[in-house]
């Protein structure tokens, strides 16, 4: 089960748009939907009115959908949870989703989010990979998060999954705060690549690479036009380069080769 929510957990829409990309790859079946009446403040997340081609008005309510992806070619099933972060009754909301996870015999929950950070747009987007417990960290060779502070619905879902004996992993993309306009295709691509590494299945990237290059070029132009932004970007680049780019390590190069061969002719 892979879950992402719009709002506080979704800077640059990197998390929710990564889900949308996954949904675009395979046929989907709607297998569950959370009734919005119990969980959303409609003054915060207002319903949307739209018109169809016959000028008939339709109201779309904020909600959370649970989708099954039809992937018989893989050794496991994929279930997607997408929606807006709820406004209230988080315990009951998370319980509803985890009850469904139990019914579906889910063995792993991957929550994905994105946050604003002091990171340069011209360097690879960093994706943190954290396990929910030390045991999962050791078994899957992932880091343990040391974060303490406010959490979102993703943190609540992860905690409940662990309590039910479901492996829980969280992935977070760091979005340059000075280039946070949505969507952020470079961060979406980084998230898809990370999911591919975690799941060890080929995930076609479609046009994300070209979109990422266009996005980076547009931010380059912004930095050239605004000297303060340009100076700040150069400071961030120097700081990032001083840390040493992980993409230059042998393990990272090996992962790129693995990803290339997994995708094969799917690109």
* pLDDT score of 92: 97
Give the whole-angstrom CA distance, residue 112 versus residue 170.
6
Nearest alpha-carbon partner for 108 in 264, 266, 2, 246 = 2
| Chain segment 207-220, per-residue pLDDT in tens | 999 999 999 999 99
Instruction: Name the phi and psi angles at 46, rounded to 5.
Output: -80, 145
Three-state SS at 110 = strand
The torsion of the CA quartet 110, 116, 120, 122, rounded to 10 degrees, works out to: 60
* pLDDT score of 266: 47
Nearest alpha-carbon partner for 119 in 235, 252, 253 = 235
**pTM for the full model?**
0.88
Rounded to the nearest integer, the mean pLDDT of the chain is 90
* pLDDT score of 147: 83
Range of the domain at 232: 2-263
* pLDDT score of 264: 60
DSSP, res 78:
E
DSSP, res 177:
G
Number of domains the chain contains: 1
The list of the chain residues with pLDDT below 70 reads: 244-267
* pLDDT score of 256: 54
Judge contact between 11 and 125, C-beta under 8 A.
Answer: no
* pLDDT score of 196: 95
CATH number where 60 lies:
3.40.50.10900
* pLDDT score of 267: 47
């Amino acid at each position: 089960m892979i879950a992402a929510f719009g709002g506080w957990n979704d800077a640059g829409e990197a998390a929710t748009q990564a889900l949308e990309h996954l949904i675009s790859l395979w046929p989907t079946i709607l297998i569950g939907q959370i009734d919005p009446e119990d969980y959303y403040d409609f003054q915060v997340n207002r319903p949307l009115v739209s018109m169809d081609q016959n000028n008939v008005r339709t109201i779309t309510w904020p909600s959370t959908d649970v989708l099954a992806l039809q992937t018989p070619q893989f050794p496991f099933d994929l279930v997607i949870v997408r929606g807006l972060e709820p406004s209230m009754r988080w315990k009951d909301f998370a319980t509803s989703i985890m009850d469904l996870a139990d019914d579906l015999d889910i063995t792993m929950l991957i929550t994905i989010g994105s946050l604003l950070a002091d990171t340069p747009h011209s360097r690879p987007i960093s994706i943190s990979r954290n396990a929910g417990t030390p045991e999962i960290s050791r078994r899957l060779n992932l880091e343990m998060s040391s974060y303490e502070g406010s959490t979102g619905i993703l943190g609540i879902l992860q905690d409940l999954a662990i309590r039910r004996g479901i492996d829980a992993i969280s992935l977070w993309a760091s979005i340059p705060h000075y280039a946070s306009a949505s969507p952020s295709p470079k961060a979406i691509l980084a998230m898809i690549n990370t999911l591919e590494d975690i799941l060890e299945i080929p995930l076609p990237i479609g046009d994300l690479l070209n979109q990422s290059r266009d996005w980076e070029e547009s931010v380059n132009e912004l930095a050239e036009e605004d000297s303060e932004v340009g100076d700040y970007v150069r400071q961030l680049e120097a700081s990032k380069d001083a840390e040493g780019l992980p993409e230059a390590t042998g393990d990272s190069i090996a992962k790129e080769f693995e990803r290339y061969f997994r995708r094969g002719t799917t690109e």
